[in-house]
Amino acid sequence: MNKLVIAALLAAPLAACGNPQGKIDPSEQMGPNPLIPEPAQGLIADVGVPDVVGWKDGETPKVPAGFHIEAMATGLTNPRTVLPLPNGDVLVVEGQRTGTEPVDRPKDPIRDFIMSMAHGGGGATDKGPPPQRITLLRDANGDGKPELRTVLVDRLNAPFGIAVVGNDLYIANTDAILRYPFTPGQVQIANRPQKVIDLPGGLIDHHWTKSLVASPDGSMLYAGVGSNSNVQERGPEAETNRAAIWEIDPKTGAYRVFATGLRNPNGLTFYPGTNVLWTVVNERDELGPNAVPDYMTSVRPGAFYGWPWSYYGQHVDPRPRPQRPDMVAKAIPPDYALSSHVAALGLAFYTGNSFPAGFRGGAFVGEHGSWNRSKFNGYHVVFIRFAAGRPVGMPMEFVGGFLDGKGHARGRPVGVAVDRTGALLVADDAGNTVWRVTYTGGGPARPAA
Amino acid sequence: MAEIVDERRGKRVGIAGHPYSALFLPVPIVCFTGALITDLAYVNSGGNLLWLNFSCWLLLAGLLFAVIAGILMLVDLARLPQLRTNIGWGSFGLLAGAGVIEFINSLIHARDGWTAVVPAGLILSAIGAIVVMSHGWLWHESRYGPGVRA
C-alpha cells in the first residue's frame, strides 16, 4: 500500500491540473443516451473505497415515504443473491471467491487489495474460510419475520446464481452449474448434485459471479459469464467464451454462447410476460471516473456489445490489441445507462401488486458501488420505470443510506428480488443482511417521471 | 578489488569488506535499459502482453535497486569529501532523476494494454534509459577519474 500512498502524493499535483471528465455529473450518464466522454487515463486510477462499518442496532437503509424497510435476516455471511419461492421460502446465496489471482504484474496485488476492500471482506473472518452455501428463510405468513432458518445446501464453490424449475434447484457455482433434486418445502438437501455443465472458472477467474436464470418455460438456462480481466490485459486466451451470456439446455448440458461483448453481466432476468432477457453489466475501469457507464440492457440473441474493443457502440477502447475494427463495427449500444462504476449486480422487475401502480413492470437495480472513482457512485438500489417493456425516465433512488456520508459503508446492495407478497428483497453483502421493503401507503410514493 | 581501499579517495561503503558499487549500481542500469528493449518488443509485437509484463517487472526491480544504490551513494558522498565534485553529485542526481522518471513510468505501465506503453511509457523508458546510463558513466568517472583506469 505504501506504493499507492506515494503514488497518490505524487499524482496529487498532476490531478490538480484538471480532469477533463471532472465536471460530468452522474445524472448525465443515465438513461438511453448517456454522455460518453473521452478516456482520461491519469497517472494513477481514481480510487475511492469506503470502510465497511456495518449496521448499528436500529440503523436501516432509507426508503421513500410510504415505504417501510426492515431486516428479514441478519448475521448472514456475504449474502449476494435472494430467490423468493411461491411458498414464502426465501433462498439466500452466501458465497464469495476465495484465493487470489495469479500475479502477472506488480500492479495485480495492489488492484486486488483495493477491490477486496471494495467488497467489504464480508465473511472473511478469522474463523476460517467463509461459508459457501444456500440459506433458507421460511416466512410462511409473509410478515417478513422468518419462522425458520436452515442451511439448504452447503460446501459450494463461490455460488452466485440460483434458479428453481419444477423440482430442480440449479446453483451456479463459479466453475459449474449444479442440479439438486428439490421439493419446495424441503429445508435441507442431502442428495449429491448432478453437474449440468462446467463454466469458465480457473486460476484467474477475475469476474467470478455466475448469474443464472431459467427461461419462462423452464426449458433453458441462461448464465452470465464475466470477463477474466478489466480489458483483456490477461491476454485473449483467458477470455475464451467469457464476457458472455451462455444459453444452456439443462437436460443435455449442451450450450451455445447467447450474446457476447458483455464485460460482466449479472442480474439476468426475463421481462415479465415476455421471452426478452435483460441484464445489468459492469463496464470497464481505468478510463476515468466518468468512463465507462455501467448499463442495463435487453439481450439480443447473437448480439455483440463491444467488450473489449469498444463500448456503447463504436467508442473504441485504445487498450486491447490487436484492434478489431470488424468487431467494433458489429457492436451494438446497450439500452439504458446507469452511470459510471456503480457496479450494478442485481436486477428485478416489479411483478407484485402491493406497491403503487407506477412500479409495476419497472426495474429495481442493486448497485454495489464504485471503487474506481474517488467520489462514490452507486451504493443504492434504484428504480427505473418501464412503459411498454422499455425503460423510461431517470433512475430514482429507492433504497439508500448504505453510505453514512463520512466515508463509511454500512452495507452494500447486491441482488434484488420481489417476493410473493410484492415486497422487495435486497441482499446486502457488506452488511450481511437481507432487507425487505414493503409499501405502507400514505406517502406520495411515485416513481420518477 | 583495488577500489576497496583507494589511497586517493578513502574507503567506501562495503559489505563484508567488499564495495557495494559493483553489486547495486549496475542493476538499475540493466533493468531500465532492459525495459526500453521490452517496450520496443511490445510495440513491435503489436501488443503481446508478455513484453508489457516484462517491462513492469524490470521497472520495479530497477526502482528497488536504484533506491538502495542511491542511499549508499549518499553515504559515500557524505563521508568522502573528494567525491563531492560536480561529477559525483551529477551522477547521483542522474540516478535520482532516473528513479523519478521510472517511477512515473511504472505508473504509466500499470495501465491495461496498449496505452501502458504507447506513447508515454515508451518515451519515458527511452529518457530513463539515457539518464541512467549517463549516471553510470559519470559515477565510473567519479571513482576512477577521467579515462578508464579500472
Q: What CATH number was assigned to the domain covering residues A42-439? A: 2.120.10.30
Radius of gyration of chain B (CA): 17
The pTM assigned to this predicted structure is 0.92
Cell (9 digits) for A144: 417478513
Question: What is the count of residue pairs from A and B with beta carbons less than 8 Å apart?
Answer: 56
Interface test with A, best of B51, B58, B106, B111 (most A CBs within 10 A): B111
Starting from the edge strand earliest in sequence, which strands make up the sheet with A168-172, in order? A161-165, A168-172, A176-181, A194-198
Scanning A28-67 for CB atoms below 8 A from B yields 41, 43-44
* Residues of A whose CB is below 8 A from B47: 320-322
pLDDT digits (tens, 9 = 90+) for B16-51: 666 777 789 999 999 999 999 999 999 999 999 999
Cell (9 digits) for A262: 458483455
pLDDT digits (tens, 9 = 90+) for A4-26: 444 444 444 344 344 568 789 99
pLDDT digits (tens, 9 = 90+) for B49-67: 999 999 999 999 999 999 9
How many CB atoms are located within 10 Å of the residue A240 CB?
10
Question: Hey, where are the domains in chain A?
Answer: 42-439
- Rounded to an integer, the average pLDDT of B103-125 is 97
Contact A81, A415 (CB under 8 A): yes
CB-based burial label for A117 (10 Å; 0-12, 13-18, 19+)? middle
Residues of chain A with pLDDT under 70: 1-20, 118-127, 442-449
- The per-residue pLDDT for A10 is 42
Q: Is B22 helix (H, G, I), strand (E, B) or coil?
A: helix
- The per-residue pLDDT for A127 is 63
Burial code (b: 16+ CB inside 10 Å, e: under 16) for A122-155 equals bbbeeeeebbbbbbbbbbeeeebebeeeeebbee
- The per-residue pLDDT for B10 is 57
Q: What is the DSSP letter of A216?
A: T
Please answer yes or no on whether A106 and B110 come within 8 Å at the CB atom.
Answer: yes
Rounded Cα–Cα distance for residues A382 and B68 (Å): 52
Q: At what angle do helices B120-144 and B49-79 cross, to 10 degrees?
A: 30
Q: Could you give the dihedral angle defined by the CA atoms of residues A246, A221, A84 and A438, in that order, rounded to the nearest 10 degrees?
A: 50
- The per-residue pLDDT for A20 is 64
- Rounded to an integer, the average pLDDT of B70-84 is 89
- The per-residue pLDDT for A119 is 66
- The per-residue pLDDT for A446 is 52
Task: Determine which helix (DSSP H) or strand (DSSP E) holds B65, and give its type and residue range.
Answer: helix B49-79
Rounded Cα–Cα distance for residues B56 and A394 (Å): 43
Please answer yes or no on whether B53 and A105 come within 8 Å at the CB atom.
Answer: yes
Please answer yes or no on whether B56 and A107 come within 8 Å at the CB atom.
Answer: yes
- The per-residue pLDDT for A98 is 84
- The per-residue pLDDT for A15 is 41
Rounded Cα–Cα distance for residues A35 and A28 (Å): 6
Q: How far is B49 from chain A (nearest CA, A)?
A: 7
- The per-residue pLDDT for A447 is 53
A106 touches chain B (CB under 8 A): yes
- The per-residue pLDDT for A100 is 86
Rounded Cα–Cα distance for residues B81 and B101 (Å): 28
- The per-residue pLDDT for B17 is 67
- The per-residue pLDDT for B22 is 75
Question: Hey, where are the domains in chain B?
Answer: 20-144
How many CB atoms are located within 10 Å of the residue A52 CB?
20
Instruction: Name which of B123, B43, B64, B132 is nearest B92 in CA terms.
Output: B132
Q: Is A178 helix (H, G, I), strand (E, B) or coil?
A: strand
